[in-house]
Each structure stands twice: as C-alpha cells, then as structure tokens.
Amino acid sequence: MLINLTELFTREGEEKSYTVNVETDRFHLPDGDCQLADKKPVVLRIMNAGNRMLTMEGHTEFSLMMPCSRCLEPVAVPFSLTLDRSFDMKKSTEERAAELDEQPYLQGYNLDVDQLVLDELLLNLPMKVLCKEDCKGICNRCGANLNVQTCDCDRSSLDPRMSVIQDIFKQFKEV
C-alpha cells in the first residue's frame, strides 16, 4: 500500500493518521519466503515537523509462519513492531545513499507501507526459531523428524577426521 505524503507539506505541524492493511501475504526473508498469518492493520501517525521534515510513529502486530531451526516444521512466530522514523524530504535518493541512509520504502513522495514493515521485520527477526524448547530436530542420516518418530540409524559414528584413530582402536581390540 502506498501513502502519498504530499498532502502533509501544506502546513507545519500538520498531522495525519492512517490505518493501512498490509497487502502482501508473504515476506521474502534471508531463509526463504514466510507466510504472513494473523495480521492486524498498520496504524501510522505522520507529522510535518517543518522544513520538509516528516516524523512517523506507528505500530502493527502479526504472526509469521517460520521453519523451526531444528526440525523444519512451521511455527507461528508473533511480532509486535513499533515504527519510529523521520524523513528528510529535501534529500535526494543519491544523497541518502551517500550518507548510508537508504530508505527503500520511500519512493519520491510515496511511502510503501509493505516495504516499511519488511524493513522493520528484518531488524527484529529472532536468531533461532524453535517449535518447542526440547525439539530433537531431524536425523542427519535419514532425515526423520525425531520429535515424531525414532529411526534405527547408527549415531555412534565419530567425526570422519577421527577415522585414523578409530582404526588404531580397532587394531588393539583384535589383539
């Protein structure tokens, strides 16, 4: 959803509130695409601070279906994002890039709410997503989900770099 910001430039101190639905159903994250579930609208308040400066405050809540880091089963991860940004509308895209202040959610005088939420989401992603604290993960040999079933794979194998030492132990067992 795009919000046109030009109507806020008329008066200093002008303030507008927006309630916008996130239009996308998926977010493309570094680990892959994740389905958006249980989303609430984004509530934004944008104010003209004068001298072509805008300040924005906002809030949204949603859940994202992300894979468990151990067993890869989908997990609903809740997010509560608080948005607090300021926009200097005097700067060009090139000037923002030179100052390392790129704002891909700002395209001319339009604010892309979906991109803004994605940028904030990327900053708030958890390091590790687990379906439960004691998740057993998957078998590294057959790929079975160890939370659901057990497998008969041999898990006693050592690190392949230690195979020479394992051969020495086998020689001593035979004697």
Name the average pLDDT for the chain.
85
120 vs 153, more confident: 120
Please state the φ and ψ torsions of residue 115, each to the nearest 5 degrees: -70, -35
Q: Report the amino acid identity of residue 75.
A: V
70 vs 107, more confident: 70
Query: pLDDT grade, residue 12 (50/70/90)?
Result: confident
Please state the φ and ψ torsions of residue 99, each to the nearest 5 degrees: -90, 10
Domain boundaries, the chain: 2-123, 138-175
The pLDDT value given to residue 133:
93
Mean pLDDT of 126-155: 88
What tens digit of pLDDT does each residue of 31-67 get?
A: 788 999 888 999 999 998 888 788 999 999 999 999 9
The pLDDT value given to residue 107:
78
According to DSSP, the β-strands at 42-50 and 106-107 are unpaired
The pLDDT value given to residue 173:
67
Q: Is the four-CA dihedral 150, 154, 156, 161 of positive or negative sign?
A: negative
d(CA 105, CA 24): 14
The pLDDT value given to residue 126:
92
What tens digit of pLDDT does each residue of 88-110 get?
A: 777 766 776 666 566 778 777 88
Mean pLDDT of 119-136: 92
Nearest to 7 by CA among 89, 116, 130, 129: 89
Mean pLDDT of 108-115: 85
CB 86 within 8 A of CB 106: no
Sole residue written with tokens 């020495």: 168
Q: Kindly calculate the radius of gyration of the chain based on its CA atoms and give it in whole angstroms.
A: 25
Asked whether the predicted pLDDT for residue 10 surpasses 70, the reply is: yes
Asked whether the predicted pLDDT for residue 175 surpasses 60, the reply is: no
